Amino acid sequence: MPQLAAHIQSQPESGIRLITERAWSTPGAIVLSVGEPQFELAPHVTEAAIEAWRRGDVRYQANAGIPALKQAITATYERDYGVRVADEQVMVTAGAVQGMHLALSLVLGAGDEILIPDPGYTIFEMAPHLLQARSVRYPLLPENDFLPSVADIEALITPRTKAILLNSPSNPLGSVIPGPLVEEVYELARKHDLWLISDECYSAFTFGEPHVSPTTIDTDGRVFAVYSFSKTYGMTGVRLGWVITPPGMSHTLNAVQESTVSCINPPAQWAGVAALTGPQDYVTHARDFYEKAAAEAAAALAPRGFRFLTPSGAFYLWLDVSHLSKGDVHAWTLRFLDEAKVGLAPGSAFGPHGEGWVRISLAGDRAELLEALSRIPAPAD
Ligand SMILES: Cc1ncc(COP(=O)(O)O)c(C=O)c1O
């Protein structure tokens, strides 16, 4: 057999998928390792997709998305941020993962470097690797409230650095980067003439600290912001998202889109139109549900002496299990799944700074969540 491409032979795997697929096939297991909303899809969203399919709206579409969805996106953006972006700055994508890949394809060549958060979402390492670029991790440390340090990021910049990646609210931490710090990172990108890639998939879910998008302060066109329908509307399998891009690059964006997915399937896009233009009480309800889950989980863990980060956004809780994992949290989560029938995402799947921690999804059934937490032995046990 011929050899696979050299860089593909070292393509990183997702440590979340690994444990989750094992947990899914473990009878009776409580699966908290995957970030997936449990809510039913809103009926008007389902109807819009079925209706599109029925009327035969199943042909090729514009690379960047159907006009109705692009308009709904720009209107949502204006409602949420008070800023009007041009139609040509919107690219509809097959989820945020493809949106991230699209943005990175425009700014990273082979051997280029991108600064990514550690711990950070698995795709932040996997997508640059596919482009033969190098991800360099900047630390998010407990002593700095798990927030990025501009000095730490700046120290990692080299002549090969092309971009800084920010993710707020954070997967896996549930932290939200305050507005002034977002501005500082933007200024750093400007100082070194770097791109800023902003993953804002969880922007709908914050519990106090407001979400600030660097696109709203981007005066010189260096920010790509990646969004998703997956989490906000509970449409993970539909594969729908979008990117707000700097102006003046729609030609290139279309060419890259053409050579990967060509366009996004129209019924999914009509579902997106219905989601954005229909009632938003589903989103508010989900946000309240996650905030309550975070509070209940914190109330269950704190008296038992656990160290954890109470989330201010997204739907994850970041828990220190170093008293159990003894230097190999990946191995411990596998053992814990076998013994306690609970699937947790090992922190090391999100980068070396995640060693000794686990990410717990708060998005599922509350009773199951609390039962699962009660099975984790506390430091004082
Ligand atoms: C930070 C972050 N970005 C992107 C994604 C992927 O989203 P999508 O389903 O839209 O591809 C996820 C999913 O877990 C995520 O947590």
Other beta carbons within 10 Å of 288: 12
H or E segment to which residue 103 belongs: helix 95-107
For the chain, the residue count is: 381
pLDDT tens figures, 236-267: 999 999 999 999 999 999 999 999 999 999 99
Compute, in angstroms, the gap from residue 201 CA to the centroid of ligand 1. 6
pLDDT at 369: 97
Same fold, 6-41+281-375 and 43-277: no
Q: Which two tokens stand for residue 12?
A: 């990183």
Query: 6-41+281-375 in CATH: which number?
Result: 3.90.1150.10
pLDDT tens figures, 315-344: 999 999 999 999 999 999 999 999 999 999
Compute, in angstroms, the gap from residue 168 CA to the centroid of ligand 1. 12
Task: Give the ligand 1 atom nearest the CA of 314.
Answer: 16
pLDDT reading at 86 higher than 90: yes
pLDDT at 75: 97
Instruction: For residue 48, give every residue at least 6 positions away whose Cβ sits within 8 Å of its Cβ, in sequence order, or none.
Output: 267, 270, 271, 273, 274
Compute, in angstroms, the gap from residue 1 CA to the centroid of ligand 1. 35
**Backbone torsions φ then ψ of 214, nearest 5 degrees:** -65, -15
198 three-class SS: strand
Compute, in angstroms, the gap from residue 237 CA to the centroid of ligand 1. 11
Instruction: For residue 299, give every residue at least 6 positions away whose Cβ sits within 8 Å of its Cβ, in sequence order, or none.
Output: none
Q: What is the Cα gyration radius of the chain?
A: 20
Model pTM greater than 0.85?
yes
pLDDT tens figures, 26-79: 999 999 999 888 888 999 999 999 999 999 999 999 999 999 999 999 999 999
* CA-wise closest residue to 116 among 87, 95, 140: 140
Compute, in angstroms, the gap from residue 95 CA to the centroid of ligand 1. 7
pLDDT tens figures, 196-232: 999 999 999 999 999 999 999 999 999 999 999 999 9
Q: Which two tokens stand for residue 69?
A: 């969805």
The yes/no answer on whether domain 43-277 falls in CATH 1.10.4080.10 is no
pLDDT at 381: 79
| Binding pocket residue ranges, ligand 1, CB within 6 Å | 35, 95-97, 121, 167, 171, 199, 201, 228, 230, 236, 241
Q: How far apart are CA 369 and CA 374, in angstroms?
A: 9
Which residue among 92, 205, 231 has the greatest number of ligand 1 atoms within 8 angstroms of its CB, and so is best to mutate?
231
Q: Which two tokens stand for residue 108?
A: 């990273």
Structure confidence at residue 17 as a pLDDT band (50, 70, 90): confident
Residue found by looking up tokens 């309550």 in the block:
292
Tell me whether the omega of the peptide bond preceding residue 379 falls within 30 degrees of 0, making it cis: no
The amino acid at residue 95 is G
Which residue among 197, 198, 201, 261 has the greatest number of ligand 1 atoms within 8 angstroms of its CB, and so is best to mutate?
201
pLDDT at 22: 95
The amino acid at residue 7 is H
pLDDT at 253: 98
Average pLDDT, the chain: 96
Instruction: For residue 354, give every residue at least 6 positions away whose Cβ sits within 8 Å of its Cβ, in sequence order, or none.
Output: 118, 119, 172, 329, 346, 347, 348
DSSP state of 381: -
pLDDT reading at 12 higher than 90: no
pLDDT tens figures, 149-195: 999 999 999 999 999 999 999 999 999 999 999 999 999 999 999 99
Closest C-alpha to ligand 1, atom 14: 35
Phi-psi region of 4 (alpha: psi -120 to 50; beta: other; left: phi over 0): beta
| Domain residue extents for the chain | 6-41+281-375, 43-277
93: β partners: 241
pLDDT at 3: 93
Other beta carbons within 10 Å of 208: 8
Dihedral, 52, 56, 58, 60 alpha carbons, nearest 10: -120
H or E segment to which residue 165 belongs: strand 161-167
The sign of the CA dihedral 323, 348, 15, 364 is positive
Q: How far apart are CA 339 and CA 324, in angstroms?
A: 13
Contact assessment for residue 332 and residue 357, using Cβ atoms and an 8 Å cutoff:
no
% of residues, the chain, pLDDT over 90: 95
